[in-house]
Amino acid sequence: MNSLFYLNPTHYLFFTGKGGVGKTSLACATAVRFADQGKKVLLVSTDPASNLDEVLGVRLGPNPIAIPEVAGLFALNIDPEAAARAYRERSIGPYRGVLPPDSIRDMEEQLSGACTVEVAAFDEFTSLLLNSEMTSRFDHIIFDTAPTGHTLRLLSLPSAWTDFLTTSTHGASCLGPSSALNNQRERYEQAVSTLRNPTETTVVLVTRPDPIAIAEAERTSHELEGIGLLNQQLAINAVFKAQNRSDKIALAFESRVTKALEGIPQGLASKERALFELKPHNMVGIQSLRSFFDASVAAPEAAIPVAMPAGTLTIEKLVDGIVADGRCLVMVMGKGGVGKTTIAADIATHLASRGHPVHLTTTDPAAHLEAALVGQKKLSSLTVTRIDPKIETQNYIQQVIATAGKGLDKEGLALLNEDLRSPCTEEVAVFRAFSKIVNEARDHFVVMDTAPTGHTLLLLDAAGSYHKEVMKKMGHDGATLNVTTPMMRIKDPKFTKLLIVTLPETTPVSEAEALQKDLRRAQIEPYAWVINQCLVGNETQDPVLLSRAHHEVAQIQRVQGGLAKNIIIVPWKNI
């Protein structure tokens, strides 16, 4: 009997993978398929940048909402910010009126960081997973997760907090009283136990026929196996075969897909695998989702190639504008899978090739700067680094103990070590490294490829506040610390050129628009939008590629209609 996830599904299906590989499309299409078979299905997004609403055409909330066009299908979004607010109040509420106001403010400060948001989201996830009254109402529960780095962090939290709580003696951590965490530990362990049960849960590793995305799927597979999630399957989206064997663009597109599939590592190649064709249109709306599993989706009749829309710029023109304003920080942002790393590397190479000293770096744990620079000429003026959370955390802990640990008595040193064992120390360490690199842009060009979300940026000030709080516990006066938050420099358009990268598709453009709104709420104005991997302007006659090019025009015009003043079009390249 075929045990592929969409033919013989377990009760829980957990879709994960690098951003932009089509997790949401596949999760939604799978949910619709099961519901159309007469099953009752719950679809859940744990992605802070969830786009279930747009794909399904229904405004979702934290409680299950029936999808009107699909009998038996319900969906909800776990809102990390709302979860964090509720989590903070659950942790602090019992102590209001019991502890002094200063202690309450101290607890609120400790609960203000991004780490709390992650734990709170996981708390909501486990609450749902262990709610037998709700889960028993559904034949299948499908989780559409955040990009892999975020998901892996959530899944590793129970063991991380178990280790921390086992050795914690002072009653407080960056998430509040340890007694509150101890009350949740058993639930977290039960949730991970459910995920580890192969008869209950299938993990679907979603990827595209792209070497970087496949490498990320392999890394994810190993890390999930490391925490006991062994029932894994591989789903490969956007597999393409040219219909016209004389079409050079289509053949190049097909060749890249073929090479990627042939290069799948043995560990992934040994897993059960499902391949899904590249569709001629975007997977938005129930009708499109119902066609996802079709062996072949008809494309419109071939038409003339689509010309590049007027009023757009090239990467070269973008770099001209950056150079004209002098040395600065170039921040490249956007959701995962849109090609931020490639764009960052391209801009850095252009700057360095003009003789400017350039520092290219990334804050994305899953970024592959080296792969993005393959084939590029090595330039002596280009320095390439990455902010590695593990290394930065180790360095930070060593420095704090070497400096602040001097002169502390046994009790004080024990308290310091307890604070530094907290998983939230990583948040502070990365903030510290990020701030240092931002400051470098005073002297030369810095191009920074960021993690796949703008959410981290909005929490940097909170991370800085937490840093000061930790230093106070070391015996220092927080007011005298030279802690530099980068937010003021990022808000300065002369110091920072912030680029939003997207793809010429409905959902990525909507996600980029939401990111821009978040940035503007933080008083940060993007310098330009980069629309990446455009088929527009390529002289293909392949009906699938040509259909996608026609759909791209509408999205480019949407961006031109008021979303961005400076718009850079980057054509699809055979790399």
Record the tokens describing residue 292, joined without a space: 């996802």
Annotated catalytic residue: which of 10, 16, 24, 422?
Answer: 24
Instruction: Give me the mean pLDDT over the 196-209 stretch.
Output: 94
Active-site residue, from 17, 19, 22, 454: 22
- Residue 10 has a CB neighbour count (10 Å cut-off) of 18
- Asked if the domains at 12-290 and 315-374+381-571 fall in one CATH topology, the answer is yes
How many beta carbons lie within 10 A of that of residue 545, not counting itself?
A: 25
Determine the Cα–Cα distance for residues 257 and 255; give it in Å rounded to an integer.
Answer: 5
Whether the per-residue pLDDT at 320 is higher than 60: the answer is: yes
* Identity of residue 303: A
Highest mean pLDDT among 92-96, 274-278, 510-514, 517-521: 274-278
Please give the radius of gyration of the chain, using alpha carbons only, rounded to the nearest integer. Answer: 24
Helix (H, G, I), strand (E, B) or coil at 206: strand
The answer to whether the Cα torsion of 278, 281, 286, 287 is positive or negative is: negative
Whether 47 is catalytic: yes
Considering the candidates 47, 123, 346, 419, report the single residue annotated as catalytic: 47
**Banded pLDDT at 478 (limits 50, 70, 90):** very low
**Confidence at 472, pLDDT banded by 50, 70, 90:** low
What CATH number has the domain spanning 315-374+381-571? 3.40.50.300
Q: What are phi and psi of 62, to 5 degrees?
A: -80, -10
Mean pLDDT of 292-312: 68
Whether 118 shows a pLDDT value over 50: the answer reads yes
By DSSP bridging, strand 65-66 and strand 73-77 are antiparallel
DSSP letters for 544-557: HHHHHHHHHHHHHH
Q: What is the pTM of this model?
A: 0.78
Q: What gap in Å lies between CA 394 and CA 566, rounded to an integer?
A: 41
Q: Is 24 a catalytic residue?
A: yes
* CA–centroid distance for 253 within its chain: 26
The active-site residue, picked from 17, 19, 20, 454, is: 20
In the annotation, is 22 catalytic?
yes
pLDDT at 171: 44
* Nearest residue to 17 (alpha-carbon basis) of 219, 173, 166: 219
d(CA 423, CA 421): 6
Say which of 30, 349, 507, 540 is annotated catalytic: 507
457 compared with 44, residue with greater pLDDT: 44
What is the pLDDT of the chain when averaged over all its residues? 82
Mean pLDDT confidence for 32-55: 89
23 labelled catalytic: yes
- pLDDT band for 323, please (50, 70, 90 cuts): very high
pLDDT tier at 174 (50, 70, 90 boundaries)? very low
For residues 54 and 383, give the distance between their C-alpha atoms in angstroms, rounded to a whole number. 40
Span 12-290: which CATH code?
3.40.50.300
Q: What is the model's pLDDT at position 503?
A: 93
Of 23, 279, 335, 340, the catalytic one is: 23
Say whether 495 sits in a helix, a strand or coil.
coil
Per-residue pLDDT, 278: 92
Domain map of the chain by residue range? 12-290, 315-374+381-571
Give 352: exposed, middle or buried? Use CB within 10 Å, 0-12, 13-18, 19+. Answer: buried
Write down the residue that tokens 């999808």 correspond to: 67
Selected catalytic residue, list 25, 30, 91, 363: 25
- Residues 44, 55: Cα–Cα separation, whole Å: 13
